[in-house]
Amino acid sequence: MTPRTNRSVLILSAITLGSFAPSAFAYLDPSTGSMILSAIVGIIATLGLALKTYWYKLKSLFKGQKATQADATSADAVVDTDSAKE
């Protein structure tokens, strides 16, 4: 059998076995719902932070500016205060 035939057989077998799965009469208590809700909120917050991070990088790329101009200024201020302490 070729790899393509093996893949087709595996997919067909998975679909066939999945169609014969019995119904599960499961109980989800309120804490499970709360856990699922907090996981969804965490995923949304993570995606929002990633989108924000890459949005500013993409925006600065199209404007032709350095992405870290403000960061460089604040980093210089931190270095100056550190050298003043010594």
Domain positions in the chain are: 30-86
Question: What is the predicted pLDDT for the residue at 48?
Answer: 94
Residue type for position 4: R
8 Å CB contact between 67 and 57:
yes
Q: What's the rounded Cα separation, in Å, for the pair 67 and 16?
A: 53
pLDDT at res. 6? 84
pLDDT in tens, 8-65: 899 999 898 888 878 778 887 889 989 999 999 999 999 999 999 888 888 888 887 6
Place of tokens 């404007």: 63
- What residues have CB less than 8 Å from 60, skipping those under 6 apart? 66, 67
Surface-to-core class of residue 60, CB atoms within 10 Å of its CB (0-12 exposed, 13-18 middle, 19+ buried): middle
Q: Is the pLDDT of residue 78 over 70?
A: no
